[in-house]
Homo-oligomer: A and B are copies of this chain.
Amino acid sequence: MKYRTVFPILLLLLSSASPVAAKSAIPAEPVQPIVPHKVTDPARVELGKKLWFEPRLSRSGFISCNSCHNLSMGGSDNIKTSIGDKWQQGGINSPTVLNSSLNFVQFWDGRAKDLKEQAHGPIANPVEMAFSHSLAVDTLQSIPEYVAEFRKVFRTDRLTIDEITLAIAAFEETLVTPNARFDKWLRGDRKAIDAQELRGYQLFKSAGCVACHSGTNLGGTSFQKMGLVAPYKTGNPSEGRAAVTGKDADRFSFKVPTLRNVALTYPYFHDGEAATLTEAVDVMGRLQLGRTFTAEENADIVAFLHTLTGDQPRLVLPILPASRDNTPRPKPFE
């Protein structure tokens, strides 16, 4: 019964497609190119950019969003786990902010449903920025230039943490990285990647990496257990998704990270214990796929992964408005 309905429609679609369109159509690949972000509210994005670089959202006045998601370094900090207030060691590797809008949930354990909810976390986390939402609000509310910007963007004179995180999220949505060589290849430029890189992609598909690392973000669309075929040994105490669901079955289940810009976002895994792509590919092969890649296979996949580096955000560093005499002062050493 069902096929009778579908079949004529398919035939109709095929017959209406011109030969030219059929020829230039993108082949069905499990990875899709990034579409550049269109800014609909530039004032909101500009405010969010200031807040992104704003160390006065931390207790110390020293740590901003950009400290651990450094936009000069692939939106990450390139250390195993981050440095927080008073040099406390973070519990988990800072994921890149680049293309994070393409993830289905935020944080390694998916505890935030979107970027806005995510932005609530670090400001008040005692191991990270160690501030409080109310102090963050008081700080910004004491600075007339911020008050004017929030009024312009949100039409309110009394800002709250929600407007702060909405603005940060709006800025983060702009941080996509289109035009990776691999995306050019996906769009039909056969010369955009070389023979080794193509071999790497074919192996990436045939070996099964693509089962989790697919879609526009090559990841960020599911949770998966770290150590699926063989157990992953780590000193890192993170439990993954189980910390959210309370289910034992979710232990060591983490959000599959994006592979976009992965050549820039070392070290790898939730504990940052893989220093190089070579090491990461080897561990993934053995523990997730039950396959030991040869040195040549590994090198091919690594070569492919290097084609995923896209255009990095081109940002003019914001000038932050000065504190006023009544602005709460940072407390770096108290």
Q: In the complex, what distance in Å separates the CA atom of A222 from the CA atom of B50?
A: 36
A133: B residues at CB distance < 8 A: none
Contact A79 B62 (CB under 8 A): yes
Residue in B closest to A85 when the chains form the complex, CB atoms: B87
Check if B62 sits within 8 Å of A317, measured CB to CB: no
**CB of A47 closer than 8 Å to a CB of B:** no
What mask results when residues 64 to 81 of chain A are scored 1 for a CB within 8 Å of chain B, else 0? 000100111110011110
Known: A78-B330, A316-B316. A62 touches B67 (CB 8 A): yes
Summarize A's interface: helix, strand, loop or mixed.
loop
- Interface size for A (C-beta < 8 A) is 43
Nearest CB on B from A103, distance (A): 22
Q: Copy number of this protein in the oligomer?
A: 2
Hey, which chain B residues are within 8 Å of A320, CB to CB? 72-73
Residue A61 is within 8 A (CB to CB) of chain B in the complex: yes
Known A60-B83, A83-B332, A317-B317; judge A322-B266 contact (CB<8 A): yes
Contact A71 B317 (CB under 8 A): yes
In the complex, A319 has a CB within 8 A of chain B: yes
Identify A322's interface contact among B55, B74, B330, CB under 8 A.
Answer: B74
A79 to B63, CA, bound (A): 12
In A117-155, the 8 Å CB interface with B consists of none
Interface presence of A278 (CB below 8 A): yes
Q: Would B74 and A62 count as touching, CB distance under 8 A?
A: no
A-B CB contact pairs (8 Å), 9 listed: A53-B72, A55-B70, A56-B78, A60-B83, A61-B79, A62-B67, A83-B332, A89-B333, A314-B317
